[in-house]
Amino acid sequence: MISIFRYTDYRRYLADYFADRKKRDAKFSHRYLCRRLGLTAPNFIMMVMQGKRNLTRALAFSLSKELGHGEKETEYFEALVGFMQARTIREKDACFSRMAAMRRGRDVDKIEESQYEYYSNWYNLVVRELVTYPDFKGDFNWLARKVRPPHNAFPGQALR
Protein backbone atom coordinates (compact mmCIF):
# COMPACT_ATOMS: atom_id res chain seq x y z
CA MET A 1 0.00 0.00 0.00
CA ILE A 2 1.27 3.47 -0.87
CA SER A 3 1.65 5.90 2.03
CA ILE A 4 0.39 9.39 1.29
CA PHE A 5 2.70 10.77 3.98
CA ARG A 6 5.71 10.18 1.71
CA TYR A 7 4.46 12.70 -0.85
CA THR A 8 4.67 16.46 -1.25
CA ASP A 9 2.99 16.45 -4.68
CA TYR A 10 -0.61 15.27 -4.70
CA ARG A 11 -0.59 14.75 -8.47
CA ARG A 12 2.34 12.33 -8.16
CA TYR A 13 0.58 10.61 -5.27
CA LEU A 14 -2.60 10.20 -7.33
CA ALA A 15 -0.67 8.78 -10.30
CA ASP A 16 1.17 6.30 -8.06
CA TYR A 17 -2.02 5.39 -6.19
CA PHE A 18 -3.87 4.87 -9.46
CA ALA A 19 -1.13 2.65 -10.92
CA ASP A 20 -0.96 0.57 -7.73
CA ARG A 21 -4.73 0.20 -7.46
CA LYS A 22 -5.03 -0.67 -11.16
CA LYS A 23 -2.59 -3.57 -10.64
CA ARG A 24 -4.80 -4.94 -7.88
CA ASP A 25 -8.20 -4.17 -9.45
CA ALA A 26 -8.51 -4.30 -13.23
CA LYS A 27 -11.94 -2.62 -13.12
CA PHE A 28 -10.50 0.50 -11.48
CA SER A 29 -10.23 3.33 -14.03
CA HIS A 30 -10.32 7.10 -14.36
CA ARG A 31 -13.86 6.83 -15.71
CA TYR A 32 -14.94 4.65 -12.77
CA LEU A 33 -13.44 7.07 -10.26
CA CYS A 34 -15.06 10.09 -11.92
CA ARG A 35 -18.43 8.33 -11.95
CA ARG A 36 -18.07 7.51 -8.22
CA LEU A 37 -17.30 11.18 -7.54
CA GLY A 38 -20.31 12.37 -9.57
CA LEU A 39 -18.17 14.14 -12.15
CA THR A 40 -19.49 14.57 -15.69
CA ALA A 41 -16.07 14.58 -17.40
CA PRO A 42 -14.83 10.96 -17.41
CA ASN A 43 -11.20 12.08 -17.72
CA PHE A 44 -11.21 14.82 -15.08
CA ILE A 45 -9.04 12.91 -12.57
CA MET A 46 -6.57 12.06 -15.32
CA MET A 47 -6.40 15.77 -16.21
CA VAL A 48 -5.77 16.57 -12.54
CA MET A 49 -2.88 14.08 -12.50
CA GLN A 50 -1.48 15.71 -15.65
CA GLY A 51 -1.68 19.19 -14.07
CA LYS A 52 -4.34 20.40 -16.52
CA ARG A 53 -7.02 20.77 -13.84
CA ASN A 54 -7.06 21.55 -10.13
CA LEU A 55 -9.12 20.11 -7.32
CA THR A 56 -11.57 22.19 -5.34
CA ARG A 57 -11.49 21.76 -1.59
CA ALA A 58 -14.80 19.88 -1.66
CA LEU A 59 -13.62 17.57 -4.46
CA ALA A 60 -10.31 16.94 -2.66
CA PHE A 61 -12.28 15.84 0.41
CA SER A 62 -14.60 13.59 -1.64
CA LEU A 63 -11.71 12.10 -3.59
CA SER A 64 -9.79 11.38 -0.40
CA LYS A 65 -12.78 9.55 1.07
CA GLU A 66 -13.26 7.64 -2.19
CA LEU A 67 -9.61 6.55 -2.05
CA GLY A 68 -10.31 5.05 1.38
CA HIS A 69 -8.30 7.52 3.44
CA GLY A 70 -8.84 7.73 7.16
CA GLU A 71 -9.15 11.01 9.04
CA LYS A 72 -5.39 11.74 9.21
CA GLU A 73 -4.80 10.77 5.56
CA THR A 74 -7.71 13.00 4.47
CA GLU A 75 -6.35 15.92 6.47
CA TYR A 76 -2.91 15.37 4.93
CA PHE A 77 -4.37 15.07 1.42
CA GLU A 78 -6.23 18.37 1.83
CA ALA A 79 -3.01 20.06 3.02
CA LEU A 80 -1.15 18.47 0.10
CA VAL A 81 -3.65 19.87 -2.40
CA GLY A 82 -3.51 23.26 -0.68
CA PHE A 83 0.29 23.22 -0.82
CA MET A 84 0.42 22.45 -4.53
CA GLN A 85 -2.33 24.91 -5.48
CA ALA A 86 -1.39 27.77 -3.13
CA ARG A 87 -1.31 31.18 -4.73
CA THR A 88 0.94 32.86 -2.20
CA ILE A 89 4.09 31.92 -0.32
CA ARG A 90 2.21 32.41 2.96
CA GLU A 91 -0.46 29.86 1.95
CA LYS A 92 2.19 27.43 0.72
CA ASP A 93 4.16 27.75 3.97
CA ALA A 94 1.05 27.22 6.09
CA CYS A 95 0.10 24.06 4.18
CA PHE A 96 3.65 22.74 4.27
CA SER A 97 3.84 23.33 8.03
CA ARG A 98 0.64 21.32 8.49
CA MET A 99 2.04 18.53 6.32
CA ALA A 100 5.35 18.48 8.19
CA ALA A 101 3.56 18.28 11.54
CA MET A 102 1.49 15.33 10.33
CA ARG A 103 4.54 13.54 8.90
CA ARG A 104 6.55 13.60 12.13
CA GLY A 105 7.18 10.08 13.31
CA ARG A 106 5.58 8.44 10.27
CA ASP A 107 7.32 6.30 7.71
CA VAL A 108 10.63 6.53 9.48
CA ASP A 109 13.10 4.16 7.90
CA LYS A 110 15.35 2.34 10.32
CA ILE A 111 19.01 2.34 9.45
CA GLU A 112 21.68 -0.20 10.15
CA GLU A 113 24.32 0.46 12.80
CA SER A 114 26.99 0.96 10.12
CA GLN A 115 24.80 3.58 8.43
CA TYR A 116 24.29 5.34 11.73
CA GLU A 117 28.03 5.44 12.33
CA TYR A 118 28.59 6.88 8.85
CA TYR A 119 26.03 9.68 9.23
CA SER A 120 26.84 10.45 12.87
CA ASN A 121 30.06 12.29 11.94
CA TRP A 122 29.95 15.31 9.67
CA TYR A 123 33.40 14.68 8.26
CA ASN A 124 32.42 11.38 6.65
CA LEU A 125 30.07 13.23 4.33
CA VAL A 126 32.57 16.02 3.66
CA VAL A 127 35.41 13.62 2.80
CA ARG A 128 33.10 11.55 0.60
CA GLU A 129 32.14 14.63 -1.39
CA LEU A 130 35.68 15.99 -1.62
CA VAL A 131 37.12 12.81 -3.11
CA THR A 132 34.72 13.22 -6.04
CA TYR A 133 36.12 16.67 -6.94
CA PRO A 134 38.19 16.80 -10.12
CA ASP A 135 40.96 18.56 -8.10
CA PHE A 136 41.40 15.51 -5.89
CA LYS A 137 44.11 13.37 -7.43
CA GLY A 138 44.72 11.00 -4.55
CA ASP A 139 46.55 13.74 -2.63
CA PHE A 140 45.52 13.25 0.99
CA ASN A 141 47.37 16.41 2.06
CA TRP A 142 45.10 18.37 -0.33
CA LEU A 143 42.12 16.59 1.20
CA ALA A 144 43.24 17.46 4.75
CA ARG A 145 43.66 21.14 3.78
CA LYS A 146 40.13 21.20 2.37
CA VAL A 147 38.63 19.58 5.45
CA ARG A 148 40.51 21.87 7.82
CA PRO A 149 41.41 25.09 5.99
CA PRO A 150 44.04 27.47 7.39
CA HIS A 151 42.92 29.98 10.02
CA ASN A 152 43.12 32.87 7.57
CA ALA A 153 40.61 31.20 5.22
CA PHE A 154 37.71 32.71 7.16
CA PRO A 155 38.64 36.32 8.05
CA GLY A 156 36.83 37.55 11.12
CA GLN A 157 35.85 34.07 12.27
CA ALA A 158 37.71 32.09 14.87
CA LEU A 159 38.09 28.39 14.18
CA ARG A 160 37.79 25.97 17.06
pLDDT in tens, 78-95: 999 999 999 999 999 999
Please, what is the average pLDDT of the chain? 85
Give the residue ranges of DSSP H helices in the chain: 10-24, 30-37, 44-49, 57-66, 71-85, 89-103, 113-119, 122-130, 140-147
Which amino acid, one-letter code, is at 35? R
Residue 150 has pLDDT above 70, yes or no: no
- pLDDT for position 159: 47
Q: What torsion do the CA atoms of 68, 32, 4, 69 make, to the nearest 10 degrees?
A: -10
- What average pLDDT does the segment 57-68 reach? 95
pTM of the complete model beyond 0.85: no
Per the model's pLDDT, the better-predicted residue between 117 and 41 turns out to be: 41
Q: Which residues, in sequence order, are CB contacts of 113 under 8 Å at separation 6+?
A: none
Residue 116 has pLDDT above 70, yes or no: no
Q: Which of 41-50, 79-88, 96-105 has the lowest mean pLDDT?
A: 96-105
User: Angle at CA 98, nearest 5°, toward 111 and 63?
Assistant: 95
Going by pLDDT thresholds of 50, 70 and 90, the confidence category of residue 8 is very high
- Identify the structural domains of the chain with CATH numbers, from first to last: 4-103 (1.10.260), 113-153 (no CATH)
Chain centroid to CA 148: 34
Residue 6 has pLDDT above 80, yes or no: yes
Residue 123 has pLDDT above 70, yes or no: yes
Going by pLDDT thresholds of 50, 70 and 90, the confidence category of residue 160 is very low
pLDDT in tens, 124-145: 777 778 888 888 888 888 888 8
Which amino acid, one-letter code, is at 88? T
Helix 89-103 vs helix 71-85: crossing angle, to nearest 10 = 150
